[in-house]
Amino acid sequence: MRKRTRDIQKALSESGYRITQSRLAVIEVIMRARHSLSPEEILARARKIEPSVGLATVYRTLDVLHAEGYLERVRIGNKGYTLACEEKSLHFHLICERCRTVIELQSNHSSDALLAQLRAAGFKSRKNAVEIVGLCAKCQSPE
């Protein structure tokens, strides 16, 4: 188990969530993933760690992780995917619609200024990731 998974397990149980082996497997899969995953993909990977995981557990665990700010949901086409993201400041998710790799671009001064304007407008944001969908460098090159 990765350290990050253990940290999250600890934080969630301190918040009163019951963390079963199934939920732990789901958390581990998301923390390990290099690209965004659909619930079905998370299920398939989690079952390799804990064979008794069911799809309902995947959805419930995703809801908990989302509510606690450990992940982001992205949409590619009409399908929803999930990725580990705990960044609270303004940043960008460059999402490849072919391989579903998500590249995180951290904020710079201009986006900090944007965030300051947003606060000045009295808006309290909960999620600060801007999604940009397209093709990554690898997927643009002909095979």
Q: Which is nearer to Zn ion, 42 or 136 (CB)?
A: 136
- As given in the structure block, the two tokens for residue 80 are 């929803």
State which residue, 52 or 140, has the beta carbon closest to Zn ion.
140
Tell me if 98 contacts Zn ion by CB under 5 A: yes
The reply on whether position 131 binds Zn ion by CB under 5 A is: no
Q: Can residue 85 be called a binding residue for Zn ion (CB under 5 A)?
A: yes
Among 87, 107, 118, 131, binds Zn ion (CB under 5 A): 87
Among the candidate windows 15-23, 26-34, 57-65, 79-87, which touches Zn ion by CB under 5 A? 79-87
> What count of other Cβ atoms lies within 10 Å of the Cβ of residue 59?
14
- The footprint of Zn ion on this chain (CB under 5 A) covers a number of residues equal to 9
Place of tokens 């799809």: 55
Is residue 114 within the footprint of Zn ion (CB under 5 A)? no
Instruction: Dump the DSSP string for the chain.
Output: --HHHHHHHHHHHHTT----HHHHHHHHHHHH-SB-B-HHHHHHHHHHH-TT--HHHHHHHHHHHHHTTSEEEEEETTEEEEEE----SSEEEEEETTT-BEEEE---HHHHHHHHHHHHTT---S--EEEEEE--HHHHS--
The interface region with Zn ion, picked from 23-31, 41-49, 77-85, 120-128 by CB under 5 A, is 77-85
For Zn ion, the binding residue among 99, 114, 115, 118 (CB under 5 A) is 99
Residues of this chain that bind Zn ion (CB under 5 A):
85, 87, 96, 98-99, 104, 129, 136, 139
